[in-house]
Amino acid sequence: MIPAEFDYKAPATLDEAVALLASDLDGAKVLAGGHSLIPAMKLRLAQPQLLVDIARIKSLAYIREEGDQILIGATTTHYQLESSDLLKRICPLLPDCAKSIGDVQVRNKGTIGGSIAHSDPAGDWPAAVLALDADLVLVGPNGERTAKVENFFVDMLTTDLQPGEILREIRIKKPNGRFGHAYQKVPHPASGFAVVGVAVNLVLNDDDSCKSAGIGVTGVGVKAYRANAVETALAGTGLDDNAIAAAIAHVCDGIDPNSDLYASGEYRCHLAQVHARRAIQAAKARVQ
């Protein structure tokens, strides 16, 4: 439970952080809250030579509207997202997801950017940002680029982040029209991580039919994913029980489900279907 020796730097700016990472591409790791990296270091599953702590860069934690987008700084804490009146009004999926994470101490320290960049297969944020079709702003030694979140999660604990890159900002298109959000989660009784988590972002037409659905799923496979087949099956339907039942049957399409002491793959897939249905129904009920 004692980590291997490492250096620690707390840069004042993002540019400094990028330079520090570039100084040791193999040995440096970004620290952005530390609720996954520090436990991994204590178990010596991770042994970085240098920790670059970006959670202390004050200008990296924010939630604001800009044009038709919501911009969220990478080191915004779970608690800041959970308690944001702006988000509760214009994008309630984010506070809903935030409040399901860990406990109060975890939410006060852990960050959305840290969770997304870590790509834990049972993390909550990946499901939410997938359902919202977010863009991620990544900054590295060669400047800045924007990545679609759908292509960002590559494998277990592996993302499209290139060596030296830092996730700087999450950009979400402001939900408009008649939308409804919901996040349904089965927390593991010990760890609190998602055995299954389903995030739903529904948009309805004026006649109550489904204009579009964004469905993000976590906990089921090696990485969080968008349930494209469910989204397609819901679009255009009246979201009646039969339409939802037909759609959720596809929630694990193409996924090799995780199996562990708490839930077999078969049970996990079943839970994903049940909670996808409940989340879709909850989101529909919340449409204004």
> What is the 3-class SS of the chain, one letter each residue?
CCCCCCEEECCCCHHHHHHHHHCCCCCEEEECCCCCHHHHHHCCCCCCCEEEEHHHCHHHCCEEEECCEEEEECCCEHHHHHCCHHHHHHCCHHHHHHHCCCCHHHHHHCEHHHHHHHCCCCCCHHHHHHHCCCEEEEEECCEEEEEEHHHCEEECCEECCCCCCEEEEEEEECCCCEEEEEEEEEECCCCCCEEEEEEEEEEECCCCCEEEEEEEEECCCCCCEECHHHHHHHCCCCCCHHHHHHHHCCCCCCCCCCCCCCCCHHHHHHHHHHHHHHHHHHHHHHCC
**What residue ranges bind other proteins (CB under 8 A)?**
39, 186, 188-191, 261-264, 267, 270-271, 274
Through-space distance between the first and last CA atoms of the chain, rounded to whole angstroms: 50
CB nearer to other proteins: give 6 or 262: 262
7 vs 266, beta carbon nearer other proteins: 266
Minimal distance in Å, beta carbon 267 to other proteins? 5
Q: At closest approach, how far in Å is the CB of 188 from other proteins?
A: 8
Q: Decide: 22 and 141 in contact? Cβ < 8 Å.
A: yes
Residue 190 beta carbon to other proteins: minimum distance, rounded to whole angstroms: 4
Instruction: State which residue, 59 or 264, has the beta carbon closest to other proteins.
Output: 264
- Strands 225-226, 153-155: parallel, antiparallel or unpaired by DSSP? unpaired
**Cβ closer to other proteins: 88 or 270?**
270
Closest CB to other proteins among residues 2, 190: 190
Q: Cβ of residue 101: shortest distance to other proteins, in angstroms? A: 13
Nearer to other proteins, 1 or 285 (CB): 1
Closest CA to 172 of 130, 226, 121, 143: 130
Q: Which phi and psi angles does 177 have, rounded to 5°?
A: 75, -150
| Least distance (Å) between residue 29 CB and other proteins | 21
Q: How far is the CB of 264 from other proteins (least distance, A)?
A: 6
Minimum CB distance to other proteins, residue 218 (Å): 17
Least distance in angstroms from the C-beta of 286 to other proteins: 21
Between residues 147 and 274, which has the closer beta carbon with respect to other proteins?
274
Q: What are phi and psi of 41, to 5 degrees?
A: -70, -40
109 vs 173, beta carbon nearer other proteins: 109
